[in-house]
Structure 1
Amino acid sequence: MAAVTGIATVAGLAIAPQAGAATVAAGAVRWAPCVSADTPGAECATLEVPVDWAHPDGATFGLAIARRKATDPDARVGSMVFGPGGPGDSGVERVVGGISRFSPEVRRRFDIVSFDPRGVGDSNPVTCSGDLLAGRPSAELSNQADFDATLAYNSRLRADCRARTGPVFDHLDSAQTVQDLEALRAALGEGRLTFHGSSYGTLLGAQYAETYPRRVRSMVLESVIDHSVTSTRDFLRSEAASAQDSFDEFVKWCAAQSSCALHGHDIRAVWQGLLDRARRGELEDPAKPGTALSLADLVNKSALKRFYGADYAELATSIAGMAASSPLPASPTSVAPLPPATPVFCADWHLPVRDYQEYTSLVGVMNRTAPDLPQLLPIQMAAACLGAPTTNPQHRLTAHGAPPILVSNALHDPATGYPWAVSVARQLGRSGALLTYEGRGHGSVTSGPCMENAVDDYLIDLTVPPRGARCPATSS
């Protein structure tokens, strides 16, 4: 059977908060030009780190890392480590492919360094049976038998992925990755860490600040995850609310823009028609002619993904094109694969569901909260984590002794809603500095000169924006 990077869940023991990371010596990294770099100038290396930081003298694996040096060596401040999102994004690919997400001034003053988190990319990736992954059951459960079958499938998949991935599989949670990050700081020879975390990378950054508060120089948490949301219901409701808010913003935008391909139409009615066709297997996938687009892919890939960049014009054009297309003969649609690093998510989020009755109640909560967006990714992730042990569960953030940490979020973020950023800033107390972007999208630190200048001044000169700082939305 084919082996591919896949999903599963994580088992293992919790680690001691400050197990052995400082034993990695400065200068332990041997850089060399990256192979097949799309944009010249990137350097790559491998940092050996323990499989389990609770046993730092045990087995190791190679953590893939990459950097681009500061474009002005004479003005260099130091290294800034970027924490990739996902979970499952490759920081190495971000660096190798170019680092346009950072301002020219940040690129001038810092070496930009990132890594593939454990279980991702070239850092001992999670590997599972392709055949088993292809048999993933739908998250649309109809009865207790479906619920039990999903539990059994998850258990088989965990066993398969563990056997193929090796010992790292039991040590994929973000608490372990915090120690990898601390090892990287030490290997780079930085006395204190300068860090920029985006989306899932904010969970890593916040937990690093909690574990090593006095080793933080500066830290940007962009599009912020609140890891203190403890109940399954509250987590799913908040995720659904953020996604629906972005759909509502899209509808408002289209109503106000004569250039919108759906301007003057009842957008929700047009969209509902597409949802109904997708449910029946009659909606053609624009990217795969002759193939039916599933309801989950219509919602998560056609719509939600475009909300990340507030690509409203492109979404409107896509919806108009699908609405005008001829229906396919009704046919079953396949279950889309989940992100490769789902096991990381399962290790970090304890989202228990007792039985089918509770599960269908949670689906109802999501559908009432996001009536235009059924089958959102978070409920699929919750289904994939059923029965999984969690080694780094949610808890309230405490980072006493940390310097000011910049918490940045758009008011209308489809994945990490603004209330999460407010909550994290409050948990950080005197260390939390909230910077609000009054616009849309997932990620906003370079959304106009106000945002860019505030972030640059903080990272370079440690100038903290005034309390309550807000930046206007750029035109969309």
Structure 2
Amino acid sequence: MFRRTVTVVVAVSTVLAGLPAVAQARPGPPPGLSWGGCPDDLPDVPPDPRVRCAPLRLPVDWARPDGRTFTLVVARRTARVPEQRVGTLVFGPGGPGDSGVERIRRGDRFSDELLDRFDLVSFDPRTVARSAAPVCTPDPQLRRPPVVLTGQADFDATVAYNRALWNRCRPTSPVFAYADTLSTVHDLEALRRALGERRLTFHGSSYGTLLGQQYAERYPDRVRAVVLEGVFDHSLDVRSFARTQAAALQDAFDEFVAWCDSSPGCVLHGRDVRAVWAAVLARADNDGYAPRTAFDVTAVALGMLAGPRFPQLAEAVRDMAAGMPPPEVRLPVAVAVFCADWPATVRDHHEYAALVRAARAVAPDVRYGAGLLAVHTCLGWQSPVRNPPHEIRVHTRTPLLLLNARHDPRTGYAWATHVARQLGRHGRLVTYEGSGHGTYLRDACTVAVVDRYLVDLTLPGADARCPAG
């Protein structure tokens, strides 16, 4: 039986005017870093003498810099060739919910040149892993609502479930109510100062691109270079967000179907892949995989197309068509970050159903995309949010480098082109013409584009492209 676990990362946005008072945080004296051993908490990663960790004490609320503090956990991997060292590169983890400390400890997110020439630094953002992560346990008295809501009763139950969960989370972390990305922007600036770097060199991946964008917006004179890989667009209303995420997943699914039609290595080669997929969804609609649902089927595509793992997706579809249930889906989302950045301003089931229809109109095969799960995750969050969405306004000396796959199921290409238009001459978009989410290490072309920018500050030409591998 097919039992793989698929990890799904989601996001949601809408437009709210204005910027929060936290932007006025005072700099204060530079914090300090005292490097020591890292916790030996990754069973498959032995300690590495080049990797050290440090706690960084920071304000819980940057509008009150002299108030309560929390510990941000930071990791550093020193350059392998010190005589060729360029400086320090800070990596912004995605998710939200990914651990930057684990990325540094594993060291598998960087090219050999970057490992040789930069001290590589990252951190666990607020509420993630080692940095004041909350303990969130659902209320046992409440039933977990379905992801796709079928009526007002489901809608009300979801709001009640979410709020009860958040009330159980909040007392367990001092930063649960202060985990928005704009607060993390100020954490990142404090980290730059603690590292003694005059200007920031930064590589953000997926959700980490929002951190890179907002840092460059707030601190343009302190930017040396910023890479945005798998670009988030923080300017969309909730309907546009749901529609564009569904369209991105449909586009990636179309690429999978085309591959299967042309590749003898696909286990569905020679069959009508869309018809097989539709039959799987129909079985789910008729409780054929109960308690798994049609959304769980769609989540399989969302997870595997991010690789992309076309052969494995074909096998999963074949197995589901034979009656096996969809693989288990995990949802590792840092809710306190996510919902403070991307408000789900949906008042009732009538508005929610309109979002479902908008998604299905552009995604007839995959139906939902990640947008509906995103809305579900944040229904009932306080409004307005701490970090309201807006079009980015950046004026840096060195343009930001954007890198996105043409067929990305999570941060769709339309998001990257829209953010590039917002940046204008202060951004440069490089297109990887293939599929998948996260393209830096895809091939020699994508590695060279990013490395030359980070090392030499060399920008690629306008409309630069890397062919699909």
**TM-score of the superposed pair, with normalisation by structure 1:** 0.89
Deviation (angstroms), 1:376? 3.5
Aligned to 1:4: none
Aligned to 2:317: 319
Amino acid at match of 1:395: H
For 1:29, which of 26, 29, 33 is the aligned residue?
33
Structure 2: give runs of 5+ residues left out of the alignment.
1-9, 13-18
The change in CA–CA distance for 1:355 and 1:35 in structure 2 (over 3 A counts) is: closer
For 2:345, which of 352, 359, 362 is the aligned residue?
352
**Contact residue 450 and residue 471 of structure 1 kept, 8 A:** yes
**Contact residue 213 and residue 403 of structure 1 kept, 8 A:** no
Amino acid at match of 1:449: A
Between stretches 442-451 and 81-90, larger displacement belongs to: 442-451
Q: Taking every aligned residue pair, what percent have the same amino acid on both sides?
A: 50
**Contact residue 209 and residue 402 of structure 1 kept, 8 A:** no
Deviation (angstroms), 1:430? 1.5
Amino acid at match of 1:55: R
For 1:67, which of 72, 76, 83 is the aligned residue?
76
CA distance in 2: counterparts of 1:353 and 1:131, whole angstroms: 23
What are the within-5 Å matches in structure 2 for residues 392-411 of structure 1? Answer: 392-411=387-406
For 1:237, which of 238, 243, 249 is the aligned residue?
243
CA distance in 2: counterparts of 1:156 and 1:134, whole angstroms: 9
CA distance in 2: counterparts of 1:181 and 1:144, whole angstroms: 42
For 1:56, which of 40, 44, 65 is the aligned residue?
65
Amino acid at match of 1:357: H
Deviation (angstroms), 1:158? 2.4
CA distance in 1: counterparts of 2:142 and 2:445, whole angstroms: 46
What are the within-5 Å matches in structure 2 for residues 2-401 of structure 1? Answer: 14-21=20-27, 23-25=29-31, 28-36=32-40, 38-41=45-48, 42-96=51-105, 98-132=106-140, 135-165=143-173, 167-229=174-236, 231-283=237-289, 293-300=292-299, 302-325=300-323, 338-389=331-382, 390-401=385-396
CA distance in 2: counterparts of 1:55 and 1:427, whole angstroms: 32
CA distance in 2: counterparts of 1:466 and 1:337, whole angstroms: 40
**Contact residue 15 and residue 176 of structure 1 kept, 8 A:** no
Amino acid at match of 1:277: R
Deviation (angstroms), 1:456? 0.7
Amino acid at match of 2:432: Y
**Contact residue 133 and residue 337 of structure 1 kept, 8 A:** no
CA distance in 2: counterparts of 1:237 and 1:394, whole angstroms: 17
Deviation (angstroms), 1:294? 3.6
**Contact residue 242 and residue 369 of structure 2 kept, 8 A:** no
The change in CA–CA distance for 1:353 and 1:398 in structure 2 (over 3 A counts) is: same
**Contact residue 296 and residue 336 of structure 1 kept, 8 A:** no
Between stretches 337-346 and 390-399, larger displacement belongs to: 337-346
**Contact residue 147 and residue 295 of structure 2 kept, 8 A:** no
Structure 1: give runs of 5+ residues left out of the alignment.
1-6, 284-290
Amino acid at match of 1:156: A
Between stretches 411-420 and 370-379, larger displacement belongs to: 370-379
Deviation (angstroms), 1:186? 0.7
Between stretches 84-93 and 446-455, larger displacement belongs to: 446-455
**Contact residue 223 and residue 421 of structure 1 kept, 8 A:** yes
**Contact residue 32 and residue 44 of structure 1 kept, 8 A:** yes
| Matched length | 446
Amino acid at match of 1:153: Y
Deviation (angstroms), 1:234? 0.4
**Contact residue 242 and residue 370 of structure 2 kept, 8 A:** no
Q: Secondary structure at the match of 2:62?
A: coil
Aligned to 1:287: none
Amino acid at match of 1:393: P
CA distance in 2: counterparts of 1:216 and 1:23, whole angstroms: 20
Deviation (angstroms), 1:134? 7.6
Aligned to 1:3: none
